[in-house]
Amino acid sequence: MLPLNATIVQINEESPLVRTFFFDFQFETMEPGQFVMVWVRGVDEVPMGLSSKNSITVQKVGEATSKLFELKEGDSFGLRGPFGKGFSLPSEGEKTLIIAGGVGAAPLAPYAEAARSAGSEVHTVLGARSAGDLLFEKRFAEAGKVYISTDDGSKGTKGFVTDVLTDLDLSVYDRIAVCGPEIMISSVFRLLKDRQVLEKSEFSLQRYFKCGIGVCGACCIDKSGLRVCRDGPVFSGVQLLDSELGKYARDASGRRVKI
Ligand SMILES: Cc1cc2nc3c(=O)[nH]c(=O)nc-3n(C[C@H](O)[C@H](O)[C@H](O)COP(=O)(O)OP(=O)(O)OC[C@H]3O[C@@H](n4cnc5c(N)ncnc54)[C@H](O)[C@@H]3O)c2cc1C
Ligand code: FES
C-alpha cells in the first residue's frame, strides 16, 4: 500500500510535549485502537494510533516525532493504514471502563465516543504526570464519568491509575480497555488479574514496528509469537498471560531491551 499524502489542516497543542495533527481527509472505517504508519519524509516511518478519524496525537520523544513538531499547517506527511485490531465495542446497556495513561489516551478518546454512541455507560480512569499533561479530559467527560489521577497530586487522586482502581468495584463492568506506558499497563494487568477480571479486559501494546503489516516479524512478542502490528495492537488479557509484557521489548536489531 502506497502512503496517502496527508496535509495538516490544524495543530492543537495539548501539552508542552504533545500535539494533535488534524489532516485533510477522514479514515471513515477506522476502529478505535487501530494505528497508521506515519511517514515523516526524510526521517522515518513510525506507528501512531488514530485519535479521531482525521487526527494523530503525538508525544515528542525522538527523531521522527521531533521532526513532526517542526511541521506547520499546510505541510504534509505520508500515511498508510489504518492497520491492526482495535478495541472491541460494547453492546447497548453494557458498562465500559477505560483506563488511560499519558498519550495512551489518544486511541481511547475515540473509543469512549464510539462506546457511548453504541449505548454503553462509560467510565474512564485518566492518569498523567500532572494536571497539564492530562489528555482529552473533556472528550472523556462528554462520554461519561471520569476519575483522575496525577503523579504529583495537582488534580484528582495523587498517585497512579492503580490507586484509583483499588477503590472501584470492577465486577460491575462488562468491558475494560487499557492503554498507556508499558510500566502502567503491566501494573494494571497484575491488578486486573488479581481481581479476576482479565477475561473481559483488552490492552493496547507498543513495540518497535518495521513493516506494520505482519510480514517482517520485528514486533513479535514472546512466548506466543503474536505480531503486535497485525494480531494487535489490542490484545485480550488472556492472550498476554505468561508473555513478555512489562519485562522486555525488542529494539530495531531484535535485541531485548529491559522495560
Ligand atoms: C501501535 C502503536 C501506536 C502508537 N501510538 C502512538 C500515539 O498515538 N502517540 C504517540 O506519541 N506515540 C505512539 N506510539 C509510539 C511511537 O510510535 C514512538 O514514540 C515513535 O516511533 C518514536 O519515534 P522517534 O523517532 O521520535 O523516537 P526514536 O528516535 O525512535 O526514540 C527516541 C527515544 O525515545 C524513546 N522512545 C521510543 N519510542 C518510545 C515510546 N513509545 N515511549 C517512550 N519512549 C519512546 C526511545 O527509547 C529513545 O530513547 C505508538 C506505537 C505503536 C507501536
Ligand atoms: S512490524 Fe513487521 S510484522 Fe509487525
ipTM of this complex: 0.96
pLDDT in tens, 119-159: 999 999 999 999 999 999 999 999 999 999 999 999 999 99
- The confidence band for 47, taking pLDDT boundaries of 50, 70 and 90, is very high
pLDDT > 90? residue 12 = yes
Nearest atom in ligand 2 to the alpha carbon of residue 227 is 4
**Which ligand 2 atom minimizes the distance to the CA of 215?**
3
226 lines ligand 2 (CB under 6 A): no
Residue range 244-253: mean pLDDT, rounded:
96
Name the domain boundary from 28, 52, 83.
Answer: 83
Number of Cβ within a 10 Å radius of residue 253: 7
Q: What percent of the chain has pLDDT over 70?
A: 100
For 230, the domain range is 206-259
Which domain-ending residue is among 175, 204, 233? 204
In the block, cell 471513515 appears at 28
- CATH number, position 33: 2.40.30.10
Shared domain for 108 and 77, answered yes or no, is no
Which ligand 2 atom lies nearest to the CA of residue 211? Answer: 2
Q: Is 216 close to ligand 2, i.e. is its CB under 6 Å away?
A: yes
| Residues whose CB falls within 8 Å of the CB of residue 190, separated by 6 or more in sequence, listed in order | none
- Give the confidence band of 1 by pLDDT, cuts at 50, 70, 90: confident
Proximal ligand: closest to the CA of 229: 2
pLDDT at 14: 97
**What would the pLDDT profile of 57-109 be if each residue is shown by its tens digit?**
999 999 999 999 999 999 999 999 999 999 999 999 999 999 999 999 999 99
pLDDT single digits (tens) 193-225: 999 999 999 999 999 999 999 999 999 999 999
| Ligand 1 atom 35, closest CA | 61
Q: Distance between CA atoms of 259 and 251, rounded to whole angstroms?
A: 11
CA of 38 to the centre of ligand 2 (A): 15
Shared domain check, 113 and 193: yes
**Which residue among 168, 188, 204 closes a domain?**
204
220 labeled part of a ligand binding site: no
Residues 6+ apart with CB under 8 A from 241: 193, 198
DSSP 8-state secondary structure symbol assigned to residue 233: B
Phi, psi of 8 (to 5 degrees): -75, 125
Give start and end residues of each alpha helix (H) in the chain. 63-70, 105-117, 137-143, 161-165, 182-194
Contact between residue 227 and residue 184 where contact means Cβ atoms under 8 Å apart: no
Residue 179 annotated as binding?
Answer: no
pLDDT band at 232 (very low <50, low <70, confident <90, very high): very high
- Alpha-carbon gap, residue 72 to 91, rounded angstroms: 40
191 and 92 in one domain? yes
Using CB distances shorter than 6 Å, the residues near ligand 1 are: 35, 44, 46-49, 57-59, 61-65, 103, 106, 206-207, 209, 233
Quick check: 2 pLDDT over 90?
no
With a 6 Å cutoff on the Cβ, whether 229 touches ligand 2 is yes
Number of separate domains in the chain: 3
